[in-house]
Amino acid sequence: MQCVELNPAGNFDPWEQEKIDELLHQEITQSLSDRLVFENESVKLWELCLLPGERIPFRRHNTNYGWVCTTGGLVLTRYGNGKIDMIKLDSGDTEYFENRGKNYVNDLENIGEESVVINILEYKETRMDKRLQFSN
């Protein structure tokens, strides 16, 4: 995976007005994709498939999750703080994020010529997590 920062945090000047309006005025969902493949008491498994030119709207991340890209591709992501990154993904690239309680916001747009498929494993808050929160 290779990442290039196209715009720094705090600078919304190069943003399209429609993306700013979406970020500020539309309800931002907390689901990590539109396709839930599996769910039990501990995890949710999502599949994210973006065709060339397709974009998933801004999402709010409040849970820990890991992902694996099964296809590779070229994507653009805009963050709620103004930052914009272009990311080249290779098949098999993985990442893990600890976002519980952080209200992390971003979108994802396929700017490449092939479909991008990402499988996301979201970890639900467990009873142990709740006990640790109360003990702090």
How far apart, in whole angstroms, are the C-alpha atoms of residue 134 and residue 136? Answer: 6
pLDDT attached to residue 102: 84
**pLDDT tens-digit readout, 60-113:** 988 999 999 999 999 999 999 999 999 999 999 999 999 888 888 999 999 999
Q: Supply the pTM of this predicted model.
A: 0.86
How far apart, in whole angstroms, are the C-alpha atoms of residue 7 and residue 85? Answer: 7
How far apart, in whole angstroms, are the C-alpha atoms of residue 14 and residue 7? Answer: 8
Does position 136 have pLDDT exceeding 80, yes or no?
no
Q: What is the mean pLDDT of residues 10-17?
A: 95
Nearest to 66 by CA among 85, 43, 87: 43
In the block, residue with structure tokens 């920062």: 5
pLDDT attached to residue 26: 84
pLDDT attached to residue 128: 52
